[in-house]
A and B are shown apart, each in its own frame.
Chain A
Amino acid sequence: MQLITCPWCGPREETEFRYGGQADLAYPADPSALDDEQWARFLFFRDNPKGTFAERWCHDAGCRRWLRAVRDTRTYVFAETGPYGSFPRRSARPERSA
């Protein structure tokens, strides 16, 4: 049972989170401009590296915010987690006690 550090709620057990697959895969600006193979690549193909992997998680049982994580697929260890998308980047957030 890993701890995942939600940028908002702090470290929580992984059961509170939902895995969202590879990060940084933008929805194509104009899907109709893609041929069938290009569209199939967007739909079905994902990286599967041995090592560092950027992925998305959602803190489902907590603040329901999506986060972007960098994880090592060999050790599962999270190198970092950070906000995703619309998450306001605020400097006013105080440090959490451990």
Chain B
Amino acid sequence: MSRVDGYGRIDRTRTLAFTFDGVGYTAHPGDTLASALLAHGVTTLGTSIRLGRPRGVMGAWTEDPGGLVQIEEPFPEPMLLATTVDVVDGLVARGVAGQGRLAEVADTARYDHRHVHCDVLVVGAGPAGLVAARTAARAGLDVVLVDDRPTPGGTLTGTETVDGRPAPEWVDAVVAELAAAPHVTHLQATTAFGHYDDGFVLALERRGEGSDGGARARDHRIRAGRVVVAAGAIERPIVFEDDDRPGVMLASAARDLLHRHGVLAGREVVVFTVDDSAYAAALDLRQAGASVRVLDGRSEVPPGWTRRCAELDVPVEAGTDVRGTLGSDRVRAALVGESRREVPCDLLLVSGGWNPTAHLFSHVGGPLRWDPELVAFRPAGELPRTTVVGAANGTYALADVLREAGGEDAPTAPPEEITPRGMLWRTAGDPARQFVDIARDATVADIARAVGAGMTSVEHVKRYTTIGTAHDQGKTSGVLASGVTAELLGRPVESLGTTTFRPPFTPVPFAALAGRDRGDLFDPVRTTAVHAWHVAAGAVFEDVGQWKRARHYPAPGEDMAAAVLRECAAVRGSVGIMDGSTLGKIDVRGPDAGVLLDHLYTNLMSTLKVGRVRYGVMCGNDGMVFDDGTVLRLAEDRFLVTTTTGNAAHVLDWMEEWLQTEWPHLRVRLTSVTEQWSIFAVAGPRSRDVVGRVFGDVDVSNDAFGFMTWQDTTLDGVPVRLARISFSGELAFEVSVDAWHAPDLWARLVAAGAEDGITPYGTETMHVLRAEKGYPIIGQDTDGTVTPHDLGMSWAVSKKKPDFVGKRSFARPVATDPQRKQLVSLLPTDATTTLPEGSQIVALPDDGRLPPPPVPMLGHVTSSYRSAALGRPFALALVAGGRDRVGEVVGIPVGDMLIAAQIGGTVLVDPEGARRDG
């Protein structure tokens, strides 16, 4: 056991049990998987991704490039860092060979998003962040303070003094003050992982395994007036041969393990540094019982630190370096200096200095500049709304950090000794064994190959070598790669800069990004007022946009084909009823309403008489059909426009666009009434009987109630509108009522139709019925490249109007080409094959066999069904020059077969229109 008494903020009174690689271990609350394994002397966690070399913990937190594990219990999660996994009772984990595997079962945990608005967001609850948050809170501002570790204090180990008292006491006092402040939200275990435009920061809160029945992780979407980045700094390693061997560790990581978890990561320690900060680690480990030796790469060593080392029997060698390591799964000796002298050790601590964690500054375009004294890239320049303080800004001494973050209000700390920092990227050795990115098995030799191939940009080197592309996104290797590349190029590192920091700062589960937008809430489900009836009637639904529409109502034992044939036969033979409430409805009002509609429809609407209905087609400026529907003239200055279900919002937007941006002088106002009115289609030869039965005071005879007219009436005092509109070619009525009364009116119609065997029918049946009449479905038979003329609807295109949207495009050569694809019908000559929609159409060779490619395509099948009325399958298709080909037989490849089908006109049922009026 490497646990040291008197150290660490773990609860030693409680013991947790967990399993790693099949072996049972114990831990204490406050342990990470890394600290618990190291406490048991487990230093090798897995193997590397490319070379299969042993891998262990090298960092203390999210910067660790080595300690990847796979979690199996409580829920499978791949590729987490052992340093970031809190041990819970029953945890099952195992090491990975460079990469984990995705769970094969669905994640049943909850995840959610929460929007947060604040005046100041402080990222990091180390000394800088705590002081900044306290200052803002005292000013009465709304403050959010987030910190990625489970407890506040940042890199304070507990040995420091702030305002004359021990640092932990000071931290507790600040946290208590923040907790008592009215407008402060303080979240630990919450990583600000991305900083975006206009003060927008995403922060992921890890909340444990549904401890309160709530979310496992919460994505806080924070909109802050000001963002204070107090995210600290990350220690940088130095590259030498076999620097990837477990037991090689950042000096700060060993210190963190000791003070946070009471774990002494080695007994025989060599510290290799070019920075003063590692001396603190050396002395702390020595005091905890290890034997320690410091190798300082600088020729001048810090006198104060050296004196303290001498007092504790820690030898310090100046001007020397580590060239390599010996060992198998764990380091057993460092190879020191030119002579490669073996210095035995079980822990080799490294410090090449520090890189400010300025990622959240860089995400929003903040520039970094090389600071030769700091030997690091640090934030340079101002950004609106963003401030960087403390180590993230390259300010390391505690007294300076507190002053920078707190201004006049700042607490104080004793001064620290500062000696010049050394710049050392790598020591002499074999580049093929000098690992720069341990997570990617990428070495100095890989960088040399990139440079040899002519690359001079760190961005190119990154992509060539994959350095910085692993789970840690180069937190320890990125700047190192810049330094090594600069050396190989013989250029100063400041001329290379760093690769671009992009969100996320740490890996974020997709489930957390999805939040509540999954399962039933993935996309809004829109339903009509009669939805419950459809459900009770056993409807099978289909998605039309976000709507759930009844597709068909299978009787027991029926499949869709059988149900649709039955429903079609009912409509053509007696009467059916369909819920058409999903149609878009727009109330168009104002003296210029007719003018606007004349602009937007291809046909004339202003001449429509009050009480009448007209079918209309809308095109874009390019002359291509984008919607169709009926228009009712309700009054001289009022129309009711219906749109297709999927296009309702688009059509309203389109009309508003013209009205607001192009013709603002028109006195017209548009109101969506899609949900206000429910519409039911009652269709079939007996529909007149059913409607007449329900609305006894309405004369529903053909003379009194003609095709394409509407009438208002009331039922039980409730206003109802009836219209003679047919989308099936049959005698049909549309019945409209406000949505509140829709369920009852539907029930009345169904009840009144019982004696005629009224049959509810769905969208699939509706599609078949309209296709038998050659009525196109916009978006199914059209695809944005089809003109009204292509659909055979020249009758719906006004020749009188001087202009309307799309008209000019009809005269473009591409629109008048006789070989344009035109809507036609196809009847398979075998009278049995239902052609798959989307099938290509080709000329039928004499031998009936598909020739080798390339085969010229004549068009494609847009709609295809079995027809009860025809007793055979049929299809609609867009075929080049189709109307001139009527009578021709073409071929449709279906699987290995070539099916022959005859081209015909689009109206296959009742071409005389005799059924329309009953």
In-complex A–B contact (CB below 8 Å): yes
Q: When A1-B197, A1-B200, A32-B802 are in contact, do A26 and B656 touch as well, CB less than 8 Å? A: no
Residues of A within 8 A of B808 (CB): 31-32, 34, 39
Distance of B656 from chain A, by nearest CB (Å) = 6
CB contact list, B350-392 vs A, under 8 A: 365
CB distance from A4 to the nearest CB of B (A): 9
Q: How far is the CA of A60 from the CA of B197 in the complex (A)?
A: 21
Q: Are B198 and A66 in contact (CB under 8 A)?
A: no
Asked if A92 CB lies within 8 Å of chain B CBs, one says: no
B807 to chain A, nearest CB (A): 7
Residue from B197, B225, B809 in contact with A39 in the complex, judged by beta carbons closer than 8 Å: B809
Given that A31-B803, A32-B802, A60-B653 are contacting pairs, would A65 and B660 also be in contact in the complex, using a CB cutoff of 8 Å?
yes
Tell me if B813 counts as interface (CB < 8 A to partner A): yes
On whether the beta carbons of A2 and B653 are closer than 8 Å, the reply is no
Give Cα A42–Cα B200 distance, bound, in whole angstroms.
38
Q: Which residues of B contact A27 (CB under 8 A)?
A: 662
Can you list, as one digit per residue, whether each of B796-819 has a CB less than 8 Å from chain A (1) or not (0)? 000000110001110111000000
A85 within 8 A of B: yes
Select which of A56, A64, A85 is within 8 A of B664 by beta carbon: A85
Q: Are A30 and B661 in contact (CB under 8 A)?
A: no
A66 to B660, Cβ gap below 8 A?
yes
Query: Could you say which residues of chain B place their CB within 8 Å of the CB of A39?
Result: 808-809, 812
Query: Which residue of the partner chain B has the closest CB to A1?
Result: B200
In the assembled complex, A79 has its CB within 8 A of some CB on chain B: no
Known A85-B664, A86-B664: A66·B656 in contact at CB below 8 Å: yes
Report if B622 contacts A (CB, 8 A). yes
Given contacts A1-B197, A60-B653, contact A87 B660 (CB under 8 A): yes
Are B657 and A66 closer than 8 Å at their CB atoms?
Answer: yes
In Å, the complex CA distance between A34 and B198 comes to 44
A58 contacts B621, C-beta separation under 8 Å: no
Interface centre among B197, B622, B811, by most A CB within 10 Å?
B197
Q: What B residues does A3 contact at CB under 8 A? A: 197-198, 200, 223
Residue of B whose beta carbon sits closest to that of A40: B812
Binary contact readout B768-794 vs A (1 if CB under 8 angstroms, 0 otherwise):
000000000000000000000000000
With contact pairs A1-B196, A3-B197, A3-B198 given, residues A36 and B813 touching in the complex (Cβ less than 8 Å): yes
Closest Cβ neighbor of B805 among chain A residues: A27
Q: Do A86 and B660 touch across chains, with their CB atoms under 8 A apart? A: yes
Residues on the B chain within 8 Å of A30, using CB: 803
Closest chain B residue to A39, Cβ basis: B808
The 0/1 profile, CB within 8 Å of B marked 1, for residues 61-74 of chain A is: 00011100000000
**CB-CB under 8 A for A32 and B803, given A85-B661, A85-B662, A87-B660:** yes
CB-based contact B656/A58 at 8 Å? yes
Complex-state Cα separation, A27 to B662, whole angstroms: 7
Shortest CB–CB separation between residue A80 and chain B, in angstroms? 15
Cβ contact within 8 Å between A2 and B198:
yes
- Residue B659 CB within 8 A of the other chain: yes
CB of A76 within 8 A of CB of B197, answer: yes
Q: Tell me if A20 is interfacial: C-beta within 8 Å of chain B.
A: yes
A43 adjacent to B621 (CB under 8 Å): yes
Q: How far does the alpha carbon of A40 sit from the alpha carbon of B811 in the complex, in Å? A: 12
Residue of B nearest to A3 (CB): B198
Docked Cα-Cα span, A65 to B657, in Å, equals 9
Q: What is the CB-to-nearest-CB distance from B568 to chain A, in angstroms, rounded to a whole number?
A: 39
A10 → B minimal CB distance (Å):
13
CA distance A26 to B659 in the complex (A): 13
The winner among B197, B200, B664, B808 for most chain A CB atoms within 10 A is: B808
A8 within 8 A of B: no
Smallest CB separation, B660 vs chain A (Å): 4
Contacts A18-B653, A60-B653 given: A66-B661 contact, CB under 8 Å?
Answer: yes
Q: How far is the CA of A61 from the CA of B622 in the complex (A)?
A: 27
A46 to chain B, nearest CB (A): 13
CA distance in complex: A20, B657 (Å):
9
The verdict on A2 contacting B660 (CB below 8 Å), with A30-B803, A43-B809 known, is no
A18 partner residues in chain B, CB cutoff 8 A = 653
| Contact yes or no, B661 A84, CB < 8 A | yes
Cβ-closest chain B residue relative to A23: B661
Contact B197 A56 (CB under 8 A): no
Interface centre among A40, A58, A85 (most CB of B within 10 A): A85
Q: Considering the chains assembled together, what is the distance between the CA atoms of A89 and B196 in angstroms?
A: 32
Q: Which residues of B contact A34 (CB under 8 A)?
A: 808
Contacts of A32 in B (CB 8 A): 802-803, 807-808, 811
Instruction: Name the distance in Å between B654's Cβ and chain A's nearest Cβ.
Output: 11
CA distance A26 to B808 in the complex (A): 15
Of residues 316 through 344 on chain B, the ones whose CB sits less than 8 Å from some CB of chain A are: none
- With both chains docked as a complex, state the minimum distance between the C-beta of B590 and any C-beta of chain A, in angstroms: 12
* Given A2-B197, A3-B197, A31-B808, A26:B662 Cβ within 8 A: yes
> Which residues of chain A are near B653, meaning CB under 8 Å?
18, 58, 60
Instruction: Scan B679-710; emit 1 where CB is below 8 A from any A CB, else 0.
Output: 00000000000000000000000000000000
Nearest-CB residue, chain A, relative to B621: A43
Measured between C-beta atoms, what is the minimum distance from B472 to chain A in Å?
Answer: 26
**8 Å CB interface, A1-35 against B:** 1-3, 11, 18, 20, 26-27, 30-32, 34
Residues of A within 8 A of B365 (CB): 75
| Chain B contacts for A60, CB-based, 8 A | 653
B657 contacts across to A, CB distance below 8 A: 20, 58, 66
What per-residue 1/0 map shows which CB atoms of A40-63 lie under 8 Å from chain B?
A: 101100000000000010101000
Residues of B within 8 A of A64 (CB): 656
A76 neighbours in B (Cβ, 8 Å): 197
Complex CA–CA separation, A11 to B813 (angstroms) = 46
With A and B bound together, what is the CA distance between A43 and B621 in angstroms?
Answer: 7
What's the nearest-Cβ distance from chain B to residue A92, in Å? 20
B622 cross-chain contacts in A, Cβ below 8 A: 43
List chain B residues, Cβ under 8 A from A42.
621
Q: Which residues of B contact A40 (CB under 8 A)?
A: 812
Query: How near does chain A come to B121, taking the closest CB pair, in angstroms?
Result: 15
Kindly state the separation between the CA atoms of A39 and B661 in the bound complex, as whole angstroms: 20
Q: How far is the CA of A18 from the CA of B621 in the complex (A)?
A: 19
- CB-CB nearest in chain A for B802: A32
The residue on B at minimum CB distance from A98 is B225
Indicate if the CB atoms of B659 and A86 lie closer than 8 Å.
yes
B198 proximity list for chain A (CB < 8 A): 1-3, 11
Contact code string A85-96 (vs B, CB < 8 Å = 1, else 0): 111000000000
Residue-wise, chain B 209-238 has the 8 Å CB interface mask toward A (1 for contact) of 000000000000101010000000000000
Interface residues of B in 632-685 (CB under 8 A from A): 653, 656-657, 659-662, 664
Most chain B CB neighbours (cut-off 10 Å) among A60, A65, A66, A86: A86
The interface residues of chain B lying within 8 Å CB-to-CB of A85 are: 659-662, 664
Alpha-carbon distance between A26 and B664 when the two chains are bound, in angstroms: 12
- Inter-chain CA distance A95–B192, complex, in Å, is 33
User: Nearest chain-A residue to B669 (Cβ)?
Assistant: A86
- Nearest-neighbour CB distance to chain B for A59, whole angstroms, equals 11
The CA of A39 and the CA of B225, in the complex, are separated in Å by 47
- What's the nearest-Cβ distance from chain B to residue A7, in Å? 12
- Give the chain B neighbours of A75 by CB distance below 8 A: 365
CB distance from B237 to the nearest CB of A (A): 36
Residues of B near A58 (CB, < 8 A) are 653, 656-657
Q: Which residues of B contact A (CB under 8 A)?
A: 196-198, 200, 221, 223, 225, 365, 621-622, 653, 656-657, 659-662, 664, 802-803, 807-809, 811-813
Q: Lowest 7 CB-CB distances: which A-B pairs, in order?
A: A86-B664, A31-B808, A85-B664, A85-B660, A2-B197, A3-B198, A85-B661
A interface with B by C-beta (< 8 Å): 1-3, 11, 18, 20, 26-27, 30-32, 34, 36, 39-40, 42-43, 56, 58, 60, 64-66, 75-76, 84-87, 98
Listed by A's residue number, 6 A-B pairs whose Cβ atoms lie within 8 Å are A20-B661, A32-B808, A36-B812, A36-B813, A66-B657, A85-B664
| New contact pairs (17) apart from A31-B808, A84-B660, CB-CB < 8 Å | A1-B197, A3-B223, A20-B657, A27-B662, A32-B803, A32-B808, A32-B811, A36-B811, A39-B812, A43-B621, A56-B661, A58-B653, A58-B656, A66-B657, A76-B197, A85-B661, A86-B660
